[in-house]
Amino acid sequence: DALTLADRIMTIKFGVRTIARMNDLHATFMPKPFRDENGNAMHVHQSLANANGDNVFDEPQGEYGLSDVALQYIGGLIAHASETCGILASHINSYKRLLPGYEAPCQICWAHRNRSALIRVPSMRGGGTRVEHRNPDPAGNPYLQFAVMLAAGLSGIENKILPPEPIEKDLYTMSREEREIIGLDSLPQNLGEALDYMATSRFMRDVLGEHILKHYVFIKRREWAEYTRQVTPWELERYVMTV
């Protein structure tokens, strides 16, 4: 139940912050608070059930032990990955987490064991068959995040979008030339780029509605513009005495 889970996420974030303050601490859900450490992610495990409660992603005779529905759901998540990124990774700091080497996805693909992929299918089958979406972070709005992920997956089922072959190679060590040869696309590299994909997406307009999409993009573009005007300590340290 996506709605119930979103409610619980909001509750636990409030509870964690409250308990931290009671102990003179501060709890943050900022995606990348420390430069050289893994960030705060919110990997979302997803499956669908029929009216009888059976997991419709499971198919022992299917390729990879997955049903056509599961593969099409993955196909939808991949097809709309760039468009949904502005919701799933909704802050400027989100893209400091989505960098090579920190078990965070940078390229748009799926895999089974590969933790550098955007979508991972854990090994459990039967009732536990599921897909793991790995670029959302806990700083975002879980109601919007779950809505766009579910809509993307269902779009894949409705339009019978099959995903490309899974990639088990470590994507962090793959050269740009290797990625180009196999047609591997990258996620947006910053919030501004993600908003450009989102603003022109008919899919996102259908999912969120014109009003929400327009105002969300407007507010976030203003945030991005404010950020791009900043002169950071890194820039001062690097350039003041050298140029």
- The CATH class of 2-191 is alpha beta
Over its C-alpha atoms, the chain yields an Rg (Å, rounded) of 19
Instruction: Give CA angle at 176 (170, 178), nearest 5°.
Output: 65
Query: What pLDDT, on the 0 to 100 scale, is given for residue 110?
Result: 97
Q: Where are the domains of the chain?
A: 2-191
> What is the reported pLDDT for 1?
86
Alpha carbon distance 102, 97 (integer Å): 8
Q: Tell me which amino acid residue 206 is.
A: D
Can you give the pLDDT at residue 166? 95
What is the CA 44 to chain-centroid distance, rounded? 9
Reported pTM: 0.93
Q: How far apart are CA 57 and CA 68, in angstroms?
A: 8
Q: Supply the pLDDT for residue 103.
A: 87
Between the CA of residue 4 and those of 143, 153, 238, what are the distances in Å? Answer: 10, 19, 48
Query: How far apart are the C-alpha atoms of 122 and 108, rounded to whole Å?
Result: 17
pLDDT, residue 236, reads 95
pLDDT of residue 240: 94
| Structure-token match 């919007």, residue found | 144
The whole-number pLDDT of residue 102 equals: 87
Letter string b/e over residues 23-59, b meaning 16 or more CB atoms within 10 A of that residue's CB = eeeeeeebbbeeeeeebbbbebebebeeeeeebbbbb
Give the chain's end-to-end CA distance (angstroms, integer).
Answer: 56
Position 83 scores a pLDDT of 98
pLDDT tens digits for the chain (243 residues)?
899 999 999 999 999 999 999 999 999 999 999 999 999 999 999 999 999 999 999 999 988 999 999 999 999 999 999 999 999 999 999 999 999 988 899 999 999 989 899 999 999 999 999 999 999 999 999 999 999 999 999 999 999 999 999 999 889 988 889 998 888 999 999 999 999 999 999 999 999 999 999 999 999 999 999 999 999 999 999 999 999
DSSP conformation class of 55: B
Q: What pLDDT sits at residue 101? A: 86
